[in-house]
Amino acid sequence: MSTIPAPSAVDALHGPPLPVLGADVRVPLITGDEVSYGALDYAASAPVLSSVWDDVSAYMPYYGSVHRGAGHLSQLSTDLFERSRRTVGEFLGCRGDDEVVFTRSTTDSLNLLAAALPAGTQVYVFETEHHAALLPWPPERLTVMRAPGSAYEAVEIVAETLACHDPQRPGLVCVTGASNVTGEIWPVGSITEVAHTAGVRVALDAAQLVPHRRVDVAGLGVDYVAFSGHKMYAPFGAGVLAGRADWLRTAAPYLAGGGASRRVVHGDGALSVEWQQGAARHEAGSPNVVGVHALASACRALTAAGFDALAAREEALLERTLAGLAGIEQVRVLSLLGGSAPRVGVISFVVDGWNSAHLAAALSAEYGIGVRDGMFCAHPLVRGLLGNAPDHSDECGAPEPLAPGARQVNAVRASFGAGTPVEHLDRLVAAVAALARDGSRWTYRTEAGRCVPVR
Ligand code: PLP
- Write the pLDDT tens digit of every residue in 18-42: 999 999 999 999 999 999 999 999 9
The domain that contains 245 carries what CATH number? 3.40.640.10
Give the pLDDT score at 3.
Answer: 64
Domain boundary among the residues 269, 285, 304 is at 304
Give the pLDDT score at 282.
Answer: 98
List the catalytic residues: 377
Give the pLDDT score at 105.
Answer: 98
Tell me the mean pLDDT in the region 50-68.
95
Name the closest-CA residue to atom 6, ligand 1: 207
The answer on 160 and 275 residing in a single domain is yes
d(CA 284, CA 441): 53
For a ligand 1 pocket test, name from 102, 103, 107 the mutation site with the most ligand atoms within 8 angstroms of its C-beta. Answer: 107
Tell me the mean pLDDT in the region 69-83.
95
Collapsing DSSP to helix, strand or coil, 394 comes out as coil
Tell me the mean pLDDT in the region 268-284.
95
Q: Is 105 in the pocket of ligand 1 (CB under 6 A)?
A: yes
d(CA 211, CA 344): 9
In-domain check, residue 374: yes
For a ligand 1 pocket test, name from 185, 208, 232 the mutation site with the most ligand atoms within 8 angstroms of its C-beta. Answer: 208
- DSSP class per residue in 163-199: TT--TTS-EEEEEESB-TTT-BBP-HHHHHHHHHHTT
Find how far residue 129's CA is from the centre of its chain: 11
The answer on 270 and 190 residing in a single domain is yes
The answer on 90 and 16 residing in a single domain is no
Cα(297) to centroid of ligand 1, in Å? 20
**Backbone phi, then psi, for 445, in 5-degree steps?**
-145, 170
Q: Is 228 in the pocket of ligand 1 (CB under 6 A)?
A: yes
Q: Which residues of 137-152 are buried (b: 16+ CB within 10 A; e: fewer)?
A: beeebbebbebbeebe
The answer on 175 and 288 residing in a single domain is yes
Nearest-CA neighbor of 108 among 368, 313, 291? Answer: 291
Domain boundary among the residues 304, 321, 352 is at 304
The answer on 423 and 329 residing in a single domain is yes
> In 15-138, which ranges are continuous DSSP H helix?
50-59, 72-91, 106-115, 131-134
In-domain check, residue 430: yes
Is the distance from CB of 265 to CB of 240 less than 8 angstroms? Answer: no
Residue 392 reports pLDDT greater than 60: no
In-domain check, residue 2: no
In-domain check, residue 132: yes
Is the distance from CB of 363 to CB of 425 less than 8 angstroms? Answer: no
Q: For all residues of the chain together, what is the average pLDDT? A: 95
Contacts of 454 (CB under 8 A, 6+ apart): 442, 443, 444, 445
Structure confidence at residue 1 as a pLDDT band (50, 70, 90): very low
pLDDT digits (tens, 9 = 90+) for 175-233: 999 999 999 999 999 999 999 999 999 999 999 999 999 999 999 999 999 999 999 99
Domain boundary among the residues 280, 304, 328 is at 304
The answer on 188 and 61 residing in a single domain is yes
The answer on 297 and 392 residing in a single domain is no
Is the distance from CB of 38 to CB of 427 less than 8 angstroms? Answer: yes
The answer on 271 and 206 residing in a single domain is yes
The answer on 358 and 288 residing in a single domain is no
d(CA 92, CA 244): 13
In-domain check, residue 1: no
Q: Which domain holds residue 123?
A: 51-304
The answer on 152 and 22 residing in a single domain is no
The domain that contains 347 carries what CATH number? 3.90.1150.10
The answer on 221 and 105 residing in a single domain is yes
The answer on 355 and 298 residing in a single domain is no
d(CA 219, CA 207): 18
pTM as predicted: 0.96
The domain total for the chain is 2
Q: At what angle do helices 7-14 and 307-326 cross, to 10 degrees?
A: 160
**Backbone phi, then psi, for 54, in 5-degree steps?**
-60, -45
In-domain check, residue 3: no
d(CA 148, CA 154): 5
